[in-house]
């Protein structure tokens, strides 16, 4: 019984070291409010963005600069896209297995417009989904639980003006292998010490 309990503790220790969640609310940096794209501001968290977004914007409670008619879902700010191509690219510095975010269409777009989200590992498409937008500021949660994602491409290029916002980006970032191995080693050392005492 004691040996089983100790093995369970070691297993839990290893699983606890497997992933760390990173949440980006886009409130971490002052809203740019000027169509200046967010690119490397979150590089320290292992997340970068392509330069085709419109930067961060304060929401309705911040005076709605830019007239997006949006309020973020985790704080007032959000990442907007009103670029002609409506493509938002998100890159991860290490392979991830879980990612989620919220999305909504914004002022000037039409109900029924879509956003297609494609998850890639290099050039290989590993998952894809399309959401259909309802009312402005009616946010839809999108999530992927797929092994080996290194980038997401969001394509909102419906006919006509198709601006949208995203918020509350949550990324499960695997811990470095050496950290997991260290935890496993500590569990093993504890197990050996326990066995010697018995």
CATH of the domain at 35: 2.60.120.430
How far is the CA of 182 from the CAs of 117, 188, 192, in angstroms?
36, 10, 15
Q: Are residues 12 and 86 in the same domain?
A: no
Q: Are residues 1 and 58 in the same domain?
A: no
Q: Are residues 161 and 186 in the same domain?
A: no
Question: What size, in residues, is the chain?
Answer: 198
pLDDT in tens, 37-79: 999 999 999 999 999 999 999 999 999 999 999 999 999 999 9
**Residues ≥6 apart with Cβ < 8 Å to 5:** none
Where in the sequence is the domain holding 60, given as residue range(s)?
Answer: 20-174
> Do residues 91 and 47 lie in contact, with contact meaning Cβ atoms separated by under 8 Å?
yes
Supply the pLDDT for residue 33.
82
Q: Are residues 10 and 31 in the same domain?
A: no
Reported as type and span, the H/E element at residue 6 is helix 2-16
Q: Label residue 194 by pLDDT band (50, 70, 90).
A: very low
Q: What is the largest CA-CA distance in the chain?
A: 74
Q: Are residues 4 and 56 in the same domain?
A: no
Give the torsion through C-alpha atoms of 105, 113, 133, 41, to 10 deg. Answer: -40
Helix (H, G, I), strand (E, B) or coil at 15: helix
14 pLDDT more than 80: no
Total number of domains constituting the chain: 2
Supply the pLDDT for residue 178.
40
Q: Are residues 129 and 153 in the same domain?
A: yes
Q: Are residues 91 and 166 in the same domain?
A: yes
Distance from C-alpha of 46 to C-alpha of 26, rounded to nearest angstrom = 15
pTM (2 decimals)?
Answer: 0.79
Helix (H, G, I), strand (E, B) or coil at 60: helix
pLDDT in tens, 16-35: 445 689 999 999 987 878 88
Please give the structure tokens belonging to residue 36. Answer: 């200046």
Q: Label residue 177 by pLDDT band (50, 70, 90).
A: low
Q: Are residues 74 and 5 in the same domain?
A: no
């Amino acid at each position: 019984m004691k040996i089983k309990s100790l093995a369970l503790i070691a297993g839990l220790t290893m699983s606890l070291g497997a992933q760390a969640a990173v949440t980006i609310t886009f409130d971490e940096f002052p809203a740019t409010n000027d169509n200046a794209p967010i690119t490397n501001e979150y590089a320290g968290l292992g997340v970068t963005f392509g330069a085709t977004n419109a930067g961060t914007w304060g929401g309705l409670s911040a005076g709605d600069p830019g007239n997006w008619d949006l309020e973020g879902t985790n704080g007032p700010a959000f990442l907007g896209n009103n670029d002609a191509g409506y493509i938002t690219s998100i890159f991860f510095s290490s392979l991830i297995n879980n990612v989620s975010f919220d999305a909504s269409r914004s002022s000037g777009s039409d109900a029924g417009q879509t956003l297609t989200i494609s998850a890639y590992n290099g050039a290989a498409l590993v998952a894809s989904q399309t959401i259909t937008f309802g009312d402005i500021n009616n946010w839809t949660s999108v999530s992927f639980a797929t092994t080996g994602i290194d980038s997401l491409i969001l394509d909102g290029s419906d006919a006509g003006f198709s601006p949208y916002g995203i918020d509350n980006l949550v990324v499960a970032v695997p811990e470095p292998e050496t950290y997991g191995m260290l935890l496993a080693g500590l569990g093993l050392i504890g197990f050996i010490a326990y066995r010697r005492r018995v």
